[in-house]
Amino acid sequence: MWRFLRTTEPLNANEADATIEMDIGEDLEHSLARAINGIVRELGLPRPDAERVGAALAKVRGYTPAHTTSSKKPGTKAKATPRYFGLLAEIDLVEVLETHISRREEGEGGRLHEFWDALKKNKRIARQPHVTIVHGKQLPDKLSLWECCSALYALPTPPLFRARLGHVVGDERVMAVTIEELRVDDPEEDEGQEGSTFLSMLDPELRGQLHITVGTKDASVPPFEAAALVESFKKGEKGLNDIRLEDVYVRGRIKGLNS
């Protein structure tokens, strides 16, 4: 792949009627959305609905090249290199947030109620809620944090963490829940201090950005927009819809993720 990228040459004027510029650094969802937008624009084809796009993404994620299994023992699966590490949240977002959003008085939280209903109707609620800690795109700058997460992931029983859910925040494109007071769930079980060491590596800036992405309007909206949304909310930006959660907590362990 890298050899191809290094030796690639620009197209001649007569080789193509139109091109779609891709970014190798983008995630799968964003890349697919870029390709769809370009094809719809250039060929005038109808835009596929969110359900068809989601099905295509699921099929791609389920694909395994034949050469990755040829040398493996029957019944075993390869452990792919993670794209990022995150706190895999042990939570049913629909069950937890439905109670808190639906009981609010009319007008409270702005239009979050409408967006929440749309996310449920269109099945856009995150199926694997998690709190992103460090992404492969941040290497080598965040190498120490990456290695710490990798070590936790490799433990037979990684430490269990606990955090409070602060606010549900949303605009017309993405909804997220802020993460507050992240700590080791039971300090007595953190005998090797692995959990405490991990927490000490989270600087205030990163802690302020921690969140769970609840869902996006459709497949054209990349989930990482939630990070900017939370950052804007923490800075007090006006015009964002939010609902404060009371006494809602979540637990989870560090996992290597690829979705």
Helix (H, G, I), strand (E, B), or coil: what is residue 163? Answer: strand
Question: Of all helices (H) and strands (E), which one includes residue 53?
Answer: helix 50-61
**Confidence at residue 7, expressed as pLDDT on a 0 to 100 scale:** 59
Measured between alpha carbons, how far apart are the two ends of the chain, in Å?
A: 21
pLDDT tens track, the chain, 259 positions? 455 555 566 777 677 788 888 876 777 777 888 888 889 888 888 888 877 777 777 667 655 554 444 444 555 555 568 899 999 999 888 888 988 887 665 555 567 888 998 999 999 999 889 999 999 999 889 999 999 999 999 888 889 999 999 999 998 899 999 999 999 999 888 878 899 999 999 999 999 899 999 999 999 999 989 999 999 999 888 878 889 998 899 999 999 998 7
Helix (H, G, I), strand (E, B), or coil: what is residue 212? Answer: strand
Helix (H, G, I), strand (E, B), or coil: what is residue 10? Answer: coil
Its pTM stands at: 0.67
User: What does DSSP assign to residue 14?
Assistant: T
258 in Cβ contact with 80 (< 8 Å): yes
